[in-house]
Structure 1
Amino acid sequence: MPSTRTTTTTLLVSALVVYSAQGMLVPVLAPVTRLVGLGEVDLGAVMTLSAAMLVLTGPWWGREVDRVGVHAVLVRGLLIATIGAAGFAVMTEVAVRQELPRWLVLSAFALTRGVLYGVGFAAVPVAALTYLASTSDGATARTQAMGAFGAVQGISLVVGPAIGGLAAIGGLLLPVHLAPVLVGATLVAVWLLPAPERQERPERERLGFGDPRVLPYLAAGAALFLGLALVEIILGFLVQDRLGLTNSETAGVVAVAGVAIGIGFALTQAVVAPRVPGGPRALIVIGSLVAAAGYALAIVATTLGVLLPALMVIAAGLGLAVPGYNGGATLVVEPSEHAAVAGQLSATVGLTYVIGPVLGAGLYGLNDLAPIVGAALLSVVAAVVAAASVRPVAR
């Protein structure tokens, strides 16, 4: 059987590749959406459907981790995600080459990028959070473990958009075709590794979303991630419209923004978060307020020189809050409930992205500042909820 270090490395590398493959599409998603004849709301609807799969399948993947183990869940999830990404690439190529009915393109995007990729993608964070929680004890070690996972997400925010932006130079659709190749290669690598020995977990009542131990974390996280979802979905449109850029210029600028965000997100989680005193509650409160300050700066940003620092401040705030959200929720439950709470954490993030993309796109259509103002207010709400409701956790 592989060692704990080998399994942890496998999980983190798998997460890095899958999140990077998703991030590759960020620089080109808005231009490609318009290129195939769809609009902002259509893109928001597809992203909402993908997030809905996190909500619906996150808890189920958690139960599957208990039933068949981390390795089997990763293999199955990556297989489904590969099929979805490949289908999305094929449909995009066809829709660009010939004029198709809008309903057909939207339906194909919903099935491939929405349902299939969303279901498969949901398995990765659930498997990773469950295993990392089960192999770390105490608030400090748990924060470090969750920080490592968060840092991988942050690095993917740099690697993904950077590769996507560079690939877009060779063709706007090239990142769309590279994504399934990366996910498929990860599937093969994970499948070839031997399965780790999984923990036997005792039968117990299913963990409810209203459990008072976990609910404050879920509520604070919901507010924080909903704010992020409002802004993330309109970032490409915001850059293109506010700065007056072409499609290719937009892809390049969003790629640079992704690098700035990823650096702030990764470094904060890996270096700063484990050193913040006060445990998970302090991380959520401080991080949410820092993010709110970043959104406030983004509201008044009219140039790239102001917008990029604002995005880095937002990323630093989220880099503090996310380890507190993931680590704190796993610390207040029993070890046998780690898979269940990991599913809930993933589902909560997914729920915010069910609402956020459509709401963000709709608000942007009314006023380009509305999503950013909403994100700032929601970050303050997250800080208040954490300060008032989250119990201190011993280090």
Structure 2
Amino acid sequence: MSSTRALTTTLLVSALVVYSAQGMLVPVLAPVTRLVGLGEVDLGAVMTLSAAMLVISGPWWGREVDRIGVHAVLVRGLVLATLGAVGFAVMTEIAAREELPRAVVLTAFALTRGVLYGLGFAAVPVAGLTYLASTSDGAVARTKAMGAFGAAQGLSLVIGPALGGLAAIGGLLLPVHLAPVLVGATLVAVWLLPAPERQQRPERERLGFRDPRVLPYLVAGGALFLGLALVEIILGFLVQDRLGLSDTETAQVVAVAGVLIGVGFAATQAFVAPRVPGGPRGLLVAGSLLAALGYVGAMFATSTATLLPVMVVIAAGLGLALPGYNAGATLAVEPSEHAAVAGQLSATVGLTYVAGPVLGAGLYSAYDLAPIIGAALLSLVAAVLASRLTRAA
């Protein structure tokens, strides 16, 4: 039991540190991109490539968990993420000092921050969700475990950018250099931890994305998180255009919103979700409806005093829905299929962040409220789909 608790704690702390290390770059990505001679489109392409790696490699990491175990997958993923983060930091330093061809810098960023880091980072949620699913029985325990993992992700939304902002005071490139140190330290901690006894997985037919046991969860979760991606990309524009703020004021409001969203997202998963009746299905329905309510409120928000509270409502809704999404899908399959479904869950969320930003920006250019309307409708779709799920035991 103590070894299980130790690995669970290490997994949660690892997720917190790795997600925070990624968030550290948020405050400096835009100025760093311009410093090395790249543009906004270039940055978007690298971030899209990183998200695409989650989609491509999520199911593969799931199969690797079955083949070599959670501990080995987490170590290998962190090795790749560390190499990618180090490569990105080195290339950024060189490009900031020397005038290099744009194609060289962009290719290096794509390989390090896009492919290597994205591939390694994708192993963390797959390993984490698989292990937590395999060590928790029943809807209540499973929801609590998934809520703890989601809470770590939520806290990273606050801790990462805050650390990045503080580090940037010591130099614009300091967060870029600190990120690989944090990921590397996590790698060492996980590496030194004794590997748990690996369960023998029976040979069986590969779990497909269209498996009727998990497809409704994937579609409902995909709709919900696509809605979030639509709004997330245009939040800064929305704040500035709707509230008539300056660049500095916009940055301040978005920063405050990010803190409130992260805290709301984490607290809801850790403390509220385990107490909501109805199991994973109830969480998905309640969370989707609450998120839809928040999006409707955002349509009518015309001041900071009204916009910030509705952002918290949206975060709370997603905080309820995410444990239901993860717990429900893992409860719907056999224990031997936990790794496979964890890969599918991660890939589905990653897919929304490949399509969502481009779609959200395009909708916003056509009509400023279109992404919010789309997010509200997608949340309602998720609620309807979730309401038709069979309740998990």
- Could you state the TM-score of these two structures normalised by the residue count of structure 1? 0.92
C-alpha distance in 1 between matches for 2:261 and 2:145: 21
Structure 1 residue 186 displacement after superposition: 0.5
C-alpha distance in 2 between matches for 1:375 and 1:30: 26
Deviations 1:103-128 (A, max 9, x none): 33332222222111110001000001
Identify the range of structure 1 (48-57 vs 30-39) with the bigger mean alpha-carbon deviation: 30-39
C-alpha distance in 1 between matches for 2:256 and 2:94: 29
**C-alpha contact 1:164 1:255 (8 A) present in aligned 2:** no
Task: Specify the alignment match of 1:91 in structure 2.
Answer: 91
**C-alpha contact 2:71 2:196 (8 A) present in aligned 1:** yes
Task: Specify the alignment match of 1:81 in structure 2.
Answer: 81
**C-alpha contact 1:27 1:165 (8 A) present in aligned 2:** yes
C-alpha distance in 1 between matches for 2:177 and 2:257: 22
Aligned residue pairs, count: 392
Task: Specify the alignment match of 1:20 in structure 2.
Answer: 20
Task: Specify the alignment match of 1:59 in structure 2.
Answer: 59
Identify the range of structure 1 (256-265 vs 93-102) with the bigger mean alpha-carbon deviation: 93-102
**C-alpha contact 2:62 2:126 (8 A) present in aligned 1:** yes
Identify the range of structure 1 (318-327 vs 359-368) with the bigger mean alpha-carbon deviation: 359-368
Task: Specify the alignment match of 2:317 in structure 1.
Answer: 317
**C-alpha contact 2:143 2:327 (8 A) present in aligned 1:** yes
Task: Specify the alignment match of 1:196 in structure 2.
Answer: 196
Structure 1 residue 88 displacement after superposition: 2.0
Identify if the C-alpha distance between structure 1 residues 95 and 228 changes in structure 2 by more than 3 Å, giving closer, same or farther. Answer: farther
Q: Name stretches of at least 5 consecutive residues in structure 1 with no aligned partner.
A: none
Task: Specify the alignment match of 1:359 in structure 2.
Answer: 359
Structure 1 residue 96 displacement after superposition: 3.7
Task: Specify the alignment match of 2:118 in structure 1.
Answer: 118
Query: Which amino acid in the other structure matches residue 180 of structure 1?
Result: P
Identify if the C-alpha distance between structure 1 residues 235 and 23 changes in structure 2 by more than 3 Å, giving closer, same or farther. Answer: farther
Deviations 1:220-255 (A, max 9, x none): 0111111112222333455566654447x6655443
Q: How does 1:109-258 map to 2 (within 5 A)?
A: 109-239=109-239, 244-246=245-247, 252-258=252-258
Structure 1 residue 87 displacement after superposition: 1.9
Q: Percent identity?
A: 82
**C-alpha contact 1:2 1:195 (8 A) present in aligned 2:** no
Deviations 1:74-125 (A, max 9, x none): 1110111111122222333334444444433332222222111110001000
Structure 1 residue 2 displacement after superposition: 6.4
Identify if the C-alpha distance between structure 1 residues 370 and 342 changes in structure 2 by more than 3 Å, giving closer, same or farther. Answer: same
Deviations 1:351-384 (A, max 9, x none): 1112112222333444443333322222122112
Q: How does 1:332-351 map to 2 (within 5 A)?
A: 332-351=332-351
**C-alpha contact 2:133 2:330 (8 A) present in aligned 1:** yes
Structure 1 residue 134 displacement after superposition: 0.5
Identify if the C-alpha distance between structure 1 residues 32 and 228 changes in structure 2 by more than 3 Å, giving closer, same or farther. Answer: farther
User: Are 2:391 and 1:392 aligned?
Assistant: yes
Structure 1 residue 177 displacement after superposition: 2.0
Deviations 1:255-284 (A, max 9, x none): 332221111011111111111111111111
Look up the SS of the partner of 1:121 in the other structure. Answer: helix
Identify if the C-alpha distance between structure 1 residues 79 and 159 changes in structure 2 by more than 3 Å, giving closer, same or farther. Answer: same
Identify the range of structure 1 (1-10 vs 55-64) with the bigger mean alpha-carbon deviation: 1-10
**C-alpha contact 1:30 1:237 (8 A) present in aligned 2:** no
C-alpha distance in 2 between matches for 1:374 and 1:313: 17
C-alpha distance in 1 between matches for 2:95 and 2:247: 21
C-alpha distance in 2 between matches for 1:74 and 1:238: 38
Identify the range of structure 1 (108-117 vs 97-106) with the bigger mean alpha-carbon deviation: 97-106
Identify if the C-alpha distance between structure 1 residues 236 and 53 changes in structure 2 by more than 3 Å, giving closer, same or farther. Answer: same
Identify the range of structure 1 (99-108 vs 18-27) with the bigger mean alpha-carbon deviation: 99-108
Structure 1 residue 25 displacement after superposition: 1.9
Identify the range of structure 1 (258-267 vs 44-53) with the bigger mean alpha-carbon deviation: 44-53
C-alpha distance in 2 between matches for 1:327 and 1:229: 22
Identify if the C-alpha distance between structure 1 residues 226 and 37 changes in structure 2 by more than 3 Å, giving closer, same or farther. Answer: farther
Query: Which amino acid in the other structure matches residue 385 of structure 1?
Result: L
Look up the SS of the partner of 2:200 in the other structure. Answer: coil
Q: CA RMSD in A?
A: 2.2
- Could you state the TM-score of these two structures normalised by the residue count of structure 2? 0.93
Query: Which amino acid in the other structure matches residue 340 of structure 1?
Result: A
Task: Specify the alignment match of 1:301 in structure 2.
Answer: 301
C-alpha distance in 1 between matches for 2:113 and 2:238: 23
Task: Specify the alignment match of 1:279 in structure 2.
Answer: 279
Identify the range of structure 1 (234-243 vs 300-309) with the bigger mean alpha-carbon deviation: 234-243
Q: How does 1:34-73 map to 2 (within 5 A)?
A: 34-73=34-73
C-alpha distance in 2 between matches for 1:93 and 1:374: 40
Identify if the C-alpha distance between structure 1 residues 35 and 246 changes in structure 2 by more than 3 Å, giving closer, same or farther. Answer: farther
Deviations 1:118-156 (A, max 9, x none): 100010000010011001111111111111111111111
**C-alpha contact 2:7 2:193 (8 A) present in aligned 1:** no
C-alpha distance in 1 between matches for 2:74 and 2:141: 24
Identify if the C-alpha distance between structure 1 residues 176 and 78 changes in structure 2 by more than 3 Å, giving closer, same or farther. Answer: same
Identify the range of structure 1 (326-335 vs 77-86) with the bigger mean alpha-carbon deviation: 77-86
Query: Which amino acid in the other structure matches residue 45 of structure 1?
Result: A
Task: Specify the alignment match of 1:5 in structure 2.
Answer: 5
